[in-house]
């Protein structure tokens, strides 16, 4: 994360001929919002923030307390790789504050600040590496998205089977132009499906990167005549899109998950963290998989995790420990998807893992079997539970998990649950095409 000063940003804005600055923030549901200001107001925004009406933003203030303030995080200054005529456009990601300057407790970024501070109080820095998957679909003649991919490529395929190769390459170039360090990009399992991975970073930078990736991907895709979607399961019968989250704790510059003398090379801290993820996994799903569609992805047979267990190399488990050791020792949580708000999701994940570290309870033995092929009785015998099968069930689990409710904070928790319950009720009360296909002519 760059350590920009006020003077640095003002100088860069002048030198790069920046005309507009987007003061960016994220609502409760993970949608990126912004207030755009001309460069003449940049100095004022850095010093005093920028006022906006929070009453119209999902999960923010009520109408009688609507005045809110955006306070830029100077480390997030970046210039977009496109211009308005000859003038550049930049962005600053902001923390949301109340009118009196106090942090707004309903700001998702504030939730992650608290989680990171909690880890720091225990002597840890949380490092995160998200792996974001998405689909590139064609558009119709009116420019509206379809669910046609235009290719039949699979894992790591390239042109001519991969029709999205040029768009994916331009997404990476745009991100690198903004100063991001992309580790890898490739075609994924399903036709039209892609993945872009960032290098490891601190948790806040990782969350900022996810929001930036989603925005840049959609813009570049549209410039290629394509539509990018991070919807978890847009097409029946093929793999859905996830956001695997790789995590490690560092203490005094060393990876706290690595212990060369221990079994599997994993420290007690790593094992306790894994147990925290497992024990909170059902409630955690409400935050990391927060849409009705999320649970169409979390089904057996499509490489998405369904069963609550951990392993070293077994990709049918919820938590996997990749083979790298030393400074690269990490735990991969495979359930999240990119429909989540990354600030809330990372905060909830951190709270879950740290709860395990505090309680110092080891996890069960790693599971080496293919959990998809195990019978219900076999899984029950091995103590392997299942993730929730619906958003409603996940919200029920969240309501019972005081660690996660506390991590989210009461104000945001209640607004989040209300919004997601309304989504579930809307889904439940609507008649869907599958029902018409199934029943209209047979009943």
| 378-421 pLDDT, tens digit each | 999 888 999 999 999 999 999 999 999 999 998 899 999 999 99
Of 186, 175, 191, 188, which Cα lies nearest the Cα of 138?
191
For the stretch 73-80, contacts whose Cβ atoms lie closer than 8 Å and that sit 24 or more positions apart, written own/partner, are 74/4, 74/5, 74/6, 74/8, 74/9, 74/46, 75/1, 75/2, 75/3, 75/4, 76/208, 77/2, 77/4, 77/8, 77/9, 77/12, 78/178, 78/179, 78/212, 79/12, 79/16, 79/18, 79/178, 80/178
Has residue 276 got a pLDDT over 70?
yes
Has residue 186 got a pLDDT over 70?
yes
Among 104-113, 141-150, 276-285, 373-382, name the most confident range.
Answer: 276-285
Question: Angle at Cα 249 formed by Cα 246 and Cα 253, nearest 5°?
Answer: 125
Residue 175 DSSP symbol: H
Specify which residues 258 forms β-bridges with: 266
The pLDDT tens digits for 75-131 are: 999 999 887 777 899 999 999 998 888 888 889 999 999 999 999 999 999 999 999
Query: Does the annotation mark 244 as catalytic?
Result: yes
User: Of the given ranges (7-11, 89-93, 154-158, 314-318), which has the lowest mean pLDDT?
Assistant: 154-158
* Token output for 207: 């969350």
Choosing from 107, 195, 259, 401, which is the catalytic residue?
A: 195
Choosing from 53, 140, 166, 410, which is the catalytic residue?
A: 53
Residue 366 DSSP symbol: P
What are the helix and strand counts (H, E) for the chain? 14, 17
Q: Which helix (H) or strand (E) is 333 found in, with range? A: strand 331-333
Specify which residues 48 forms β-bridges with: none
CA distance 353 to 116: 12
**CA 118 to mean position of chain CA atoms:** 20
Count of C-beta atoms within a 10 Å radius of residue 373: 10
CA distance from start to end of the chain? 61
Among 165-174, 271-280, 380-389, name the most confident range.
Answer: 271-280
What is the per-residue pLDDT for 431?
Answer: 93
pTM metric for this prediction: 0.93
Query: Does the annotation mark 332 as catalytic?
Result: yes
Query: Does the annotation mark 186 as catalytic?
Result: no
The pLDDT tens digits for 353-374 are: 999 999 999 999 999 888 888 8
Choosing from 27, 107, 133, 208, which is the catalytic residue?
A: 133
Query: Tokens 């949580």, residue?
Result: 333
Has residue 168 got a pLDDT over 90?
no
Confidence of residue 64 (pLDDT cuts 50, 70, 90): very low
What is the per-residue pLDDT for 184?
Answer: 86
3-state helix, strand, coil split of the chain in percent (to 5) is 40, 25, 35
Confidence of residue 227 (pLDDT cuts 50, 70, 90): very high
User: What is the pLDDT of the chain when averaged over all its residues?
Assistant: 90
* Token output for 346: 């990372």
Query: Tokens 């990391």, residue?
Result: 288
What is the per-residue pLDDT for 63?
Answer: 40
Choosing from 162, 188, 337, 401, which is the catalytic residue?
A: 188
- For residues 360 and 303, the model is more confident at 360
Mean pLDDT of 197-211: 93
Pairing of strands 317-320, 307-311: parallel
Choosing from 315, 325, 414, 415, which is the catalytic residue?
A: 315
Query: Does the annotation mark 423 as catalytic?
Result: no
Choosing from 107, 151, 208, 332, which is the catalytic residue?
A: 332
CA distance 349 to 138: 34
Give 103-146 as a DSSP string.
Answer: BPTT-HHHHHHHHHHHHHHTT-EEEEEEEEEEEEEEB-TTS-B-
Has residue 163 got a pLDDT over 70?
no
Whether residue 24 is preceded by a cis peptide bond, meaning omega within 30 degrees of 0, is no
Task: Tell me the residue length of the chain.
Answer: 443
- The percentage of residues in the chain with a pLDDT greater than 70, rounded to a whole number, is 94
Query: Does the annotation mark 325 as catalytic?
Result: no
User: Of the given ranges (26-35, 265-274, 351-360), which has the lowest mean pLDDT?
Assistant: 26-35
Residue pair 277/331 in contact by the 8 Å Cβ criterion:
yes
Q: Which helix (H) or strand (E) is 288 found in, with range? A: helix 281-288
CA distance 239 to 314: 18
Choosing from 71, 109, 110, 131, which is the catalytic residue?
A: 131
Choosing from 71, 114, 187, 244, which is the catalytic residue?
A: 244
Choosing from 334, 337, 401, 420, which is the catalytic residue?
A: 334
The pLDDT tens digits for 305-323 are: 999 999 987 888 999 998 8
Residue pair 127/248 in contact by the 8 Å Cβ criterion:
yes
What is the per-residue pLDDT for 110?
Answer: 94
- The percentage of residues in the chain with a pLDDT greater than 90, rounded to a whole number, is 65
């Amino acid at each position: 994360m760059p350590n920009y000063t006020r003077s640095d940003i003002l100088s860069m804005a002048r030198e790069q001929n920046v005309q507009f600055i987007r003061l960016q923030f994220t609502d409760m549901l993970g949608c990126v919002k912004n207030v755009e200001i001309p460069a003449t107001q940049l100095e004022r925004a850095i010093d005093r923030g920028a006022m906006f009406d929070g009453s119209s933003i999902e999960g923010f203030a009520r109408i009688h307390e609507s005045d809110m303030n955006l306070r830029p995080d100077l480390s997030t200054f970046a210039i977009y790789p496109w211009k308005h005529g000859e003038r550049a456009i930049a962005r600053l990601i902001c923390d949301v504050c109340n009118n009196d300057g106090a942090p707004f407790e309903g700001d998702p970024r504030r939730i992650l600040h608290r989680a990171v501070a909690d880890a720091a109080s225990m002597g840890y820095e949380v490092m995160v590496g998200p792996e974001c998957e998405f689909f590139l679909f064609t558009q119709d003649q009116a420019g509206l998205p379809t669910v046609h991919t235009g290719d039949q490529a699979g894992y790591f395929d390239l042109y001519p089977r991969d029709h999205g190769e040029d768009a994916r390459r331009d997404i990476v170039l745009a991100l690198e132009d903004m100063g991001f360090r992309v580790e890898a990009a490739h075609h994924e399992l399903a036709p039209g499906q892609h993945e872009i991975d960032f290098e490891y970073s601190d948790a806040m930078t990782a969350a900022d990167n996810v929001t930036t990736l989603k925005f840049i991907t959609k813009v570049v895709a549209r410039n290629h005549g394509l539509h990018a979607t991070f919807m978890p399961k847009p097409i029946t019968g093929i793999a859905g899109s996830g956001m695997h989250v790789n995590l490690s704790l560092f203490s005094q510059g060393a990876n706290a998950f690595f212990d060369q003398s221990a079994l599997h090379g994993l420290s007690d801290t790593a094992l306790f963290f894994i147990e925290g993820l497992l024990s909170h996994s059902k409630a955690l799903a409400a935050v990391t998989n927060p849409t009705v569609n999320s649970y169409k992805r979390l089904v057996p047979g499509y490489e998405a995790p369904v069963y609550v267990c951990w392993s070293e190399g077994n990709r049918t488990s919820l938590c996997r420990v990749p083979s790298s050791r030393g400074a690269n020792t990490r735990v991969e949580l495979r359930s999240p998807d990119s429909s989540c708000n990354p600030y809330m999701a990372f905060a909830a994940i951190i709270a879950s893992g740290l709860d395990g570290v505090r309680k110092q309870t080891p996890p069960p033995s790693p599971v080496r079997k293919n959990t998809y092929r195990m019978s219900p009785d076999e899984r029950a015998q091995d103590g392997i539970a299942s993730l929730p099968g619906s958003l409603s069930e996940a919200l029920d689990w969240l309501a019972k998990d005081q660690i996660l409710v506390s991590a989210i904070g009461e104000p945001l928790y209640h607004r989040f649950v209300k919004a997601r319950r309304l989504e579930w009720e809307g889904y439940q009360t609507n008649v869907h095409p599958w029902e018409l296909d199934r029943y209209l002519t047979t009943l």
